[in-house]
């Protein structure tokens, strides 16, 4: 297949081509590996390209297809964010701490995809330990935005979003702790979904903030997103937060339309810091939804303004606890020229972690320290409960909520690296969904100065069906998802 064919390919039509024997998985995989070779020096979206694994996976997929035993994702080339464990393939979290770590087991989602016969092309770059909004915090390289390689792709799942946007793979899996799937999806003009907390097992996802982290797909289309979620969701006894509830077939309801849907538009997401062009694009998108039969109502979620503050107490606190395991003793980087055990642990963390990771560990350790626990961490948890209740009340009256995904389009590389607060504000619209544990999706909604703009939708817990219905209806009524970067 040629490069232009790849730019227009989705999981849905790739499945048809594979099943009708118009293309083999091996041919498809080789085309994507060639595409990676041609574009990776410009984008830097991969930490590891697993060529031999991909070729072997593709051959096995062709055998399954030949015997008529294929499944929905059999033979489909994909990328995994490099904080998802892959047995026999290094998993680095884009950190020097895990630069040479090769997991002895697969993450739950990795195993699910293997059982489907999907093809793993490699591992996607991210902000170190998923802490960042631009993928500039990677210890190895900065990923570039395929629409403009002088700009960031967003973060922390910048590698996965850029890779899908540049047609280096058919889909990728990312993780979303405060917007890390949806914000880069918005900035790269693709579809990014954060499922309900517990809908997808976190087993094998290297932890950042355990009560916030969630795995989800980054795809070209909403239907592709539903296809992937169908195949990675489900109960897992290895994850104590995994929800033991049935997983519906999202494809059965995705095209039912939104006539009669009640869509709430929280006014707090249109504050003075938002780019005026982005606000206009989102307002125009709401008119599209209204023309499709939805009832649009402005609402207020006054506790939204506290979500960012709550996040930057809870997330660093959990990170501080989770990252204590990196002491250089069992695995990962080890500073061997130390004078004592304690000196070794101190130096291992000094040289193994990057600046942003250290900053968040310090914030979290402070918030959890004696004398400050009640004032910061405990209070943040109480406000979190109030935010969750506010969303529950909203979804008792509305099917979905609609708002911008990001307050700006992709910004220039190095533009915000020296100002952590400005960087943190990029997640101001996405963080509330993580605080509340509800599903949220970002879909392409327009272009501003030739850069993509995302429309974000949220729904109640385990209401991904409604989310897909609304997102699919909008997508089918517009052409924004068809715009591809020239790279």
* Known catalytic residue at 194: no
Residues contacting residue 85 through CB under 8 Å, at least 6 positions apart:
91, 103, 105, 106, 107, 110, 204, 205, 206
Distance in angstroms (rounded) separating the CA atoms of residues 337 and 325:
20
The helix/strand/coil state of 366 is helix
**Among 395, 52, 43, which residue's Cα sits nearest to residue 184?**
43
From the list 25, 95, 156, 285, the catalytic residue is 156
Residue 339, sorted as left (phi over 0), alpha (psi -120 to 50) or beta, turns out to be alpha
* Known catalytic residue at 180: yes
Residues contacting residue 213 through CB under 8 Å, at least 6 positions apart:
130, 175, 176, 177, 202, 205, 207
**Alpha-carbon distances of 364 from 115, 134, 416, 472, rounded to whole Å:** 38, 21, 22, 39
Residues contacting residue 290 through CB under 8 Å, at least 6 positions apart:
296
**Residue 302 parent element (H or E):** none
Distance in angstroms (rounded) separating the CA atoms of residues 100 and 331:
9
* Known catalytic residue at 448: no
Question: Residue 421 class from Cβ within 10 Å (0-12 exposed, 13-18 middle, 19+ buried)?
Answer: exposed
Instruction: Cite the beta strand spans of 98-183 per DSSP E.
Output: 119-124, 171-175
From the list 138, 142, 157, 180, the catalytic residue is 180
From the list 50, 81, 163, 416, the catalytic residue is 81
Distance in angstroms (rounded) separating the CA atoms of residues 190 and 20:
27
Distance in angstroms (rounded) separating the CA atoms of residues 85 and 92:
9
Distance in angstroms (rounded) separating the CA atoms of residues 216 and 230:
11
Active site residue ranges: 81, 156, 180
């Amino acid at each position: 297949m040629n490069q232009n064919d790849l730019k227009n390919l989705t999981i849905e039509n790739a499945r048809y081509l594979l099943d009708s024997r118009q293309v083999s998985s091996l041919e498809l995989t080789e085309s994507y590996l060639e595409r990676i070779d041609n574009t990776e020096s410009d984008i830097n979206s991969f930490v590891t390209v697993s060529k031999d694994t991909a070729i072997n996976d593709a051959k096995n997929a062709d055998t399954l297809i030949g015997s008529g035993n294929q499944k929905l994702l059999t033979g489909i080339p994909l990328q995994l964010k490099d904080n998802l464990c892959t047995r026999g393939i290094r998993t680095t979290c884009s950190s020097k701490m895990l630069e040479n770590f090769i997991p002895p087991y697969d993450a739950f989602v990795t195993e699910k995809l293997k059982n489907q016969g999907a093809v793993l092309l490699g591992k996607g770059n991210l902000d170190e330990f998923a802490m960042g909004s631009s993928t500039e915090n990677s210890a190895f390289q900065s990923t570039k935005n395929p629409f403009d390689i002088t700009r960031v792709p967003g973060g922390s799942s910048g590698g996965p979003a850029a890779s899908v946007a540049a047609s280096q793979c058919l889909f990728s899996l990312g993780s979303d702790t405060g917007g890390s799937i949806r914000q880069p999806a918005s900035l790269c003009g693709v579809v990014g979904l954060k499922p309900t907390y517990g809908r997808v097992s976190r087993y094998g996802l290297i932890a950042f903030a355990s009560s916030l982290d969630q795995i989800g797909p980054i795809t070209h289309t909403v239907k592709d997103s539903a296809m992937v979620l169908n195949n990675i969701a489900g109960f897992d006894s290895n994850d104590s937060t995994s929800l033991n509830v049935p997983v519906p077939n999202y494809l059965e309801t995705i095209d039912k339309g939104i006539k009669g849907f009640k869509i709430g538009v929280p006014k707090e997401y249109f504050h003075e810091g938002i780019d005026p062009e982005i606000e206009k694009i989102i307002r125009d998108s709401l008119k599209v939804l209204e023309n499709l039969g939805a009832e649009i109502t402005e609402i207020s979620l006054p506790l939204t303004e506290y979500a960012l503050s709550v996040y930057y107490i809870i997330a660093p606190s959990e990170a501080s606890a989770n990252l204590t395991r990196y002491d250089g003793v069992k695995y990962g980087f080890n500073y061997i020229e130390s004078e004592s055990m304690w000196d070794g642990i101190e130096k291992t963390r000094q040289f193994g972690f990057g600046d942003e990771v250290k900053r968040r560990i310090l914030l979290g350790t402070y918030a959890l320290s004696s004398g400050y626990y009640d004032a910061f961490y405990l209070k943040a948890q109480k406000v979190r409960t109030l935010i969750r209740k506010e969303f529950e009340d909203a979804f008792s009256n509305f099917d979905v909520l609609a708002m911008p995904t990001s307050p700006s389009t992709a910004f220039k590389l190095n533009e915000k690296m020296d100002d952590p607060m400005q960087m943190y504000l990029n997640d101001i619209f996405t963080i509330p969904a993580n605080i509340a544990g509800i599903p949220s999706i970002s879909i392409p909604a327009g272009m501003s100065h030739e850069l993509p703009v995302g429309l974000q939708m949220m729904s109640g817990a385990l209401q991904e069906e409604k989310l897909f219905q609304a997102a699919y209806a909008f997508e089918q009524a517009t052409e924004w998802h068809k715009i591809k970067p020239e790279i």
